[in-house]
């Protein structure tokens, strides 16, 4: 029996099936093929067929049953106010390492919401603990064959997992992994490593246990716990040292070699922080198995370096071609010189080459040396270019937080005030709220630019984007 609460249609795409059938914003979707729609996954699954019976309620209260013939998997063109078509599920755990518990007071409410919603794992790549999932949820994932699902394992020791998550059911949740594995649901995993708790022998156990799920479990990342300066009353966690990082990497590398020999994959990956803390070079590109965990900070710097090298080679070839044209007396118009508008590089070409360009880059402490090195190599190739790279200390969350994604506008403003920043300041894309020009502390890009009296631009994580933005081309 249909409850008839339904989902309010917010938009109907022009030219879509929905518009053709007379569905309008404000109409309420009640059911498809006689099935009540709980959320976006029910909606997408029911819309796959080529013949649909769609029940909607109009603003007048009248109900329409629409018979629709379409191509299989063709979309109806309906958009809803809530992209999930349901309330977000909050986390019931009280993890000893939870970063949200370490947030200072007074920030926007959304930053304090702890989600543990498996649906966001499929839609946005979020990691979930599985403690919030019922057997019916698992059944639906298997029925719809939704994948991949990203899982926060932390440990495969059930008792230790209960203690780390402060949830007496956390150990039982690992049994759900077995069902997902048997059903062929692709998975990725992460382990947030806490010193003296789930490292050492416990980490060894976790890797051994999880490796038996290969290849359905495609990869597992190991990331160090993030510790802010706001941990009053929380579990006493300690930061990792260089010696600790070396030990973690030795263990992971040993397992990578062992697993690769039998499975053809390295499977277990250390995030970039471990290599920087240990003072070791980043692994070669092949070690990352195609970068399955970039969003978790695994291989991001290596990929950026590879892309940077490619872009640098392109610039070298352009400059080499332009120099040859100049030696042969060709005009800029004849050769579309490297520094002109057509090449995409900064400056206006003339008899003496391009005009001088002075810009600045700000980044977190973690990537500072890496960014400074890239800037130095680019300036060596392009002597008219000056790039000042500024490391920003995280005073807002504490100095142990070194990633650029947790920098605030106020820290950037305070530490760059009075500095000669040149014609523009460039910031990494992850300092901003997704899809908006707002920092974590609600300062806007415009407000920062006004305070520093310079234009503020954003650079994507791509090494290509870094090169071309530094040289003045907007992509």
The pLDDT of residue 145: 87
Q: Are residues 67 and 173 in the same domain?
A: no
Tell me the two tokens of residue 154: 């932390």
The pLDDT of residue 413: 98
The boundaries of the domain holding residue 233 are: 100-296
Q: Are residues 318 and 265 in the same domain?
A: no
Q: Are residues 152 and 288 in the same domain?
A: yes
The pLDDT of residue 332: 43
Q: Are residues 175 and 55 in the same domain?
A: no
Domain edge (last residue) among 31, 51, 80: 80
The rounded distance, in Å, linking the Cα atoms of 38 and 3 is 11
The pLDDT of residue 346: 46
Q: Are residues 270 and 308 in the same domain?
A: no
Question: What pTM, to 2 d.p., does this model score?
Answer: 0.83
- Inter-CA distances, 406 with 37, 106, 231, 459, Å: 37, 16, 16, 16
The rounded distance, in Å, linking the Cα atoms of 92 and 166 is 9
User: How many residues belong to the chain?
Assistant: 475
H helices within 112-241, ranges in order? 118-124, 135-144, 158-165, 174-182, 201-211
Residue 185, in any domain of the structure: yes
List the pLDDT tens digit at each of the 475 positions of the chain: 455 688 999 999 999 999 999 999 999 999 999 988 888 888 888 888 899 999 999 989 999 999 999 888 788 999 988 777 777 777 888 999 998 889 888 777 777 666 766 566 555 668 889 988 888 889 888 988 888 999 999 999 999 999 999 999 999 989 999 999 999 999 999 999 999 999 999 999 999 999 999 999 999 999 999 999 999 999 999 999 999 999 999 999 999 999 999 999 999 999 999 999 999 999 999 999 999 999 889 999 999 999 999 999 999 998 887 655 544 444 444 334 344 444 445 444 444 557 899 999 999 999 999 999 999 999 999 999 999 999 999 999 999 999 999 999 999 999 999 999 999 999 999 999 777 899 999 999 999 999 999 999 999 989 999 999 999 875 4
Q: Are residues 221 and 269 in the same domain?
A: yes
What lies within 8 Å, CB to CB, of 293 at 6+ separation is 188, 190, 219, 221, 269, 299
Number of Cα atoms under 13 Å in the Cβ half of residue 358? 6
CATH number for position 132: 3.20.20
The pLDDT of residue 87: 73
SS3 391: strand
The pLDDT of residue 136: 86
The pLDDT of residue 347: 44
Residue 166, in any domain of the structure: yes
Q: Are residues 457 and 336 in the same domain?
A: yes
Q: What are phi and psi of 250, to 5 degrees?
A: -60, -40
The rounded distance, in Å, linking the Cα atoms of 411 and 107 is 15
Under DSSP, the state recorded for 20 is: H
Q: Are residues 201 and 319 in the same domain?
A: no
H helices within 337-444, ranges in order? 368-381, 409-416
Find where tokens 């949740």 sit: 173
The rounded distance, in Å, linking the Cα atoms of 25 and 35 is 21
């Amino acid at each position: 029996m249909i409850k008839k609460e339904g989902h309010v249609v917010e938009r109907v795409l022009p030219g879509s099936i929905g518009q053709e059938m007379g569905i309008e914003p404000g109409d309420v979707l009640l059911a498809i093929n006689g099935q009540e729609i709980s959320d976006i996954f029910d909606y997408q699954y029911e819309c796959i067929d080529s013949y649909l019976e769609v029940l909607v309620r109009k603003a007048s209260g009248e109900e329409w049953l629409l018979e629709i013939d379409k191509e299989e998997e063709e979309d109806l063109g309906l958009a809803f106010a809530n992209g999930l078509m349901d309330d977000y599920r909050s986390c019931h755990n009280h993890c000893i390492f939870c970063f949200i518990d370490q947030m200072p007071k007074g920030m926007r409410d959304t930053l304090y919401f702890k989600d543990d919603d498996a649906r966001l794992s499929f839609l946005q790549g979020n990691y979930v603990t599985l403690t919030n999932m019922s057997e019916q949820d698992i059944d639906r994932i298997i029925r719809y064959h939704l994948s991949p699902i990203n899982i926060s394992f932390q440990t495969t020791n059930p008792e230790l997992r209960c203690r780390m998550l402060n949830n007496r059911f956390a150990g039982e949740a690992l049994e759900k992994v077995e069902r997902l594995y048997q059903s062929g649901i692709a998975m990725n995993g992460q382990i947030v490593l806490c010193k003296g708790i789930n490292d050492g022998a416990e980490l060894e156990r976790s890797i051994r246990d999880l490796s038996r799920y290969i290849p359905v479990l495609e990869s597992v990342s190991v990331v160090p716990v993030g510790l802010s300066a706001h941990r009053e009353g929380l579990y006493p966690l300690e930061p990792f040292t260089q010696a600790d990082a070396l030990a973690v990497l030795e263990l992971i590398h040993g397992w990578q070699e062992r697993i690769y020999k039998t499975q053809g994959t390295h499977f277990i990956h250390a995030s970039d922080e471990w290599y920087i803390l240990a003072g070791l070079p980043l692994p070669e590109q092949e070690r990352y198995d195609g970068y399955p965990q970039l969003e978790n900070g695994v291989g991001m710097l290596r990929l950026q370096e590879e892309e940077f090298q490619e872009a640098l080679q392109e610039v070298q070839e352009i400059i080499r071609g332009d120099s040859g044209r100049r030696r042969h007396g060709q005009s800029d118009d004849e050769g579309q010189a490297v520094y002109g508008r057509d090449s995409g590089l900064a400056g206006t070409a003339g008899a003496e080459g391009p005009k001088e360009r002075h810009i600045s880059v700000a980044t977190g402490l973690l990537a500072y040396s890496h960014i400074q090195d890239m800037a130095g190599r680019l300036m060596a190739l392009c002597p008219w270019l000056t790039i000042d790279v500024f490391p920003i200390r995280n005073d807002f969350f504490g100095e142990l937080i070194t990633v650029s994604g947790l920098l605030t506008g106020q820290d950037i403003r305070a530490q760059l005030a009075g500095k000669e920043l040149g014609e523009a300041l460039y910031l990494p894309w992850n300092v901003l709220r997704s899809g908006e020009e707002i920092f974590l502390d609600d300062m806007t890009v415009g407000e920062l630019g006004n305070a520093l009296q310079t234009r503020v631009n954003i650079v994507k994580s791509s090494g290509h984007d870094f090169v071309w933005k530094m040289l003045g081309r907007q992509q």
